[in-house]
A and B are shown apart, each in its own frame.
Chain A
Amino acid sequence: MDQNFWYLFSAYTLIWIGLFVYLFTIAGREKKLEAEIAELKAAVEALEAKE
């Protein structure tokens, strides 16, 4: 095995980990905002019904 194998392995691994972490953060932010929007829509509807 090439003595520089670990450099190659770590470079590719870090890119894949970085990419998946970024995708997870986007998905997490989407879920959080969608939940907040659903909550706010319900609040707007409740306030409009009161009026």
Chain B
Amino acid sequence: MRYSATTPNERQRMLDTIGVSSVADLFQSVPEAARTRSAASVLGPLPEGTLLAELEAGKVAPPRVALIGGGLYRHFIPATVDSLCARSEWVTSYTPYQPEVSQGTLRMYYEFQTYVSMLTGQELSNGGMYDGSTACVEAVLMAKRLRPKTNRVLVSAALNPQYLEVLRTYMRFQNVEVVLLPFDRSTGHTLINVDAQTQADAIAVLLQSPNTYGVIEDTAGIAPGAFRIVVVTEAQSLALLKPPPAEVVCGELQSLGIPVQLGGPTAGFFATRREFVRSMPGRLVGRTVDRHGTEAFCITLATREQFIRREKATSNICTSSGLMCLRSVVYTSLLGRKGLQEVARQSARAARAFLAALEEIGLKRAFSGNFFNEFVVDCSARPELARRLEAAGFLLGLPLEAHGLPHHRLVALTEIEYPKMAALIKEVKTHAHAS
């Protein structure tokens, strides 16, 4: 077997030490009736070159242009991020249960918690979640722990549909009713159409900003006394837009140095107020000292966690998303405030330049509320355009038929498109005039 260096002679010596005659003797505790009888097998072993050649042969060329976001955004990833995060010491280490030999990972989590606190404007953050969809669920579950007597959560209908599906799954098993707050068909903003008492009595009022249609939301319309959860799926927006006041700000960090990779693995984040720290899910790293008084870091408040608290834990999370958190930390360090704000402005401006070009060919933006780098465009004036572009390997956003918005497309741009704007606009106009 490729990944073992033990020789037959060594195996014999080991068997002699154990005092058995064959490896099969070591499996005597497995009853005969339980043994594998199936002859079905999996393919392999394949040598490295053969395996890579087979993968290469199966590849399909990607789209030439893909102006697609919808919760996952292709941003530029600096070479330094890929290189540093590929180091063995990060990749092949375990959860830092032994702090003396894990100070690197622990310091990274402390930096992560600090960056997330700064970006969200919250008092503290945990050490990351699986992804945005599960972070959003955990926020509602924490609110429910704090408000155990209620069983209804008010959720914006402009929440990412994948997140909403995940939330519905969990809430069903918590016997919590998910009540949708509609969105204004002209502005794209969520309508808080329930009275103040109902809001205050709910587990939480949950909004996404920018929402799933790209529109920037506000929590100003939410009644005092309500538990406000704000979800952010495009983390780059945080460089320019401070999240509105909320008890929890959570979401997805994929935009900060993590590849899209089909939606996973990425890194979720969860930030809240200090008063809620003991109800918070997930891992938390704290600063302390060693026995000589030297600054040191370790996992803390583990009494909330499953490996100590078992059925009374605040969450069942064990392995989370460490390596993806690392990517976001290295990325954020490298860009700093000014670098993050620069790419965020480039993404937002690319989107505006492209929208202007679409408007010139007669298309209209569907919602009037302001946006960051993603917007919905009504293509009914040129119903063939998106299909023609797609045939040329140019994906003009995400179709929104499933949202009850036929001929509408959700279009996202990032700094990656910034140097290509003239060519993209020219291509769209050429196809528009041909139709």
Do A and B come together as binding partners? no
Residues of B within 8 A of A (CB): none
Residues of A within 8 A of B (CB): none
